[in-house]
Amino acid sequence: MNFENILIATENGIGQITINRPSKLNALNVATIKELHDAFETLENDPEIRVIIITGEGEKAFVAGADISEFANFSIEEGAQLAAQGQELLFDFVEKLKTPVIAAVNGFALGGGLELAMSCHFRIASDNAKMGLPEVSLGVIPGYGGTQRLPQLVGKGRAMELIMTAGMIDAETAKSYGLVNHVVPQNELVEFTKGIATKISRNSPAAISKAIKAVNANFKHDVDGFDVEIRNFGKCFGTEDFKEGTTAFLEKRKPTFTGK
**Lateral strand order in the sheet of 6-11:** 6-11, 14-19, 51-56, 101-105, 122-126, 182-184
Given the residues 115, 188, 191, 229, the one annotated as active site: 115
Q: What are phi and psi of 144, to 5 degrees?
A: -110, 40
Identify which of 134, 107, 137, 90 has the alpha carbon closest to the alpha carbon of residue 25.
107
How far is the C-alpha of 34 from the C-alpha of 101, rounded, in Å? 17
Q: Give the containing element (helix H, strand E) for 113.
A: helix 112-119
Catalytic, 115? Answer yes
- Cα Rg for the chain, rounded, in angstroms? 19
Whether 259 and 204 have beta carbons less than 8 Å apart is answered as yes
Q: Can 35 be counted among the known catalytic residues?
A: no
Active-site residue (options: 35, 57, 95, 135): 135
SS (H, E, C) 128-184: CCEEECCHHHHCCCCCCCHHHHHHHHHCHHHHHHHHHHCCEEEHHHHHHHCCCCEEE
CA angle 247, 253, 257 (to 5 degrees): 65
The span from the first CA to the last CA of the chain, in angstroms, equals 27
Q: Which residues contact 226 (CB under 8 A, 6 or more apart)?
A: none
Q: Give the closest residue to 55 by CA, choosing from 63, 66, 64, 45.
A: 63
Catalogue the active-site residues: 115, 135
